[in-house]
Structure 1
């Protein structure tokens, strides 16, 4: 029973954010944007979703992710939150 509750909790957390596909920028870096689907989602959760997507992308290429910049917008409970992760796979 505890396993089902844990899986449900993890599923709900991932449903709280949306993440774009990884895109190339003109300056040679890669970028991914994560957004909160609900106003009550914490900035940390939105940031973590973007970082996880960047790490997964680099791991598929058997490389390590190096964060270049992180930009955030929005205010919890007031406006939509989004986080832009700019990174390289080294």
Structure 2
């Protein structure tokens, strides 16, 4: 029973964050952006979603992800939270 509750909680948090696909930037780096769909989602969860997407992208190419910059906007419970991760696959 505890396992089901845990899975439900993880599923709800995952559904509360949207992540864009990986985009190429003009400066040669890559970027991915995640957004909280609900005000109660923590900034850390939104940031983690972007980092995981960037790591998965590089892993598919058999490379390591190297974060260049992490930009964030918004305030929990006040405005929607957005996190952009700029990275390279090395």
TM-score w.r.t. the length of structure 1 is 0.95
Match for residue 15 of structure 2? Answer: 15
Distance 1:15 1:32 in 2: 17
Q: What secondary structure, in the 3-state scheme, does the structure 2 residue paired with 1:54 have?
A: helix
Q: What secondary structure, in the 3-state scheme, does the structure 1 residue paired with 2:26 have?
A: coil
Distance 2:35 2:67 in 1: 18
Match for residue 82 of structure 2? Answer: 82
| Count of matched residue positions in the alignment of Structure 1 and Structure 2 | 90
For residue 5 of structure 1, report the CA deviation from its aligned partner: 1.9
Q: CA RMSD in A?
A: 0.8
For residue 42 of structure 1, report the CA deviation from its aligned partner: 0.9
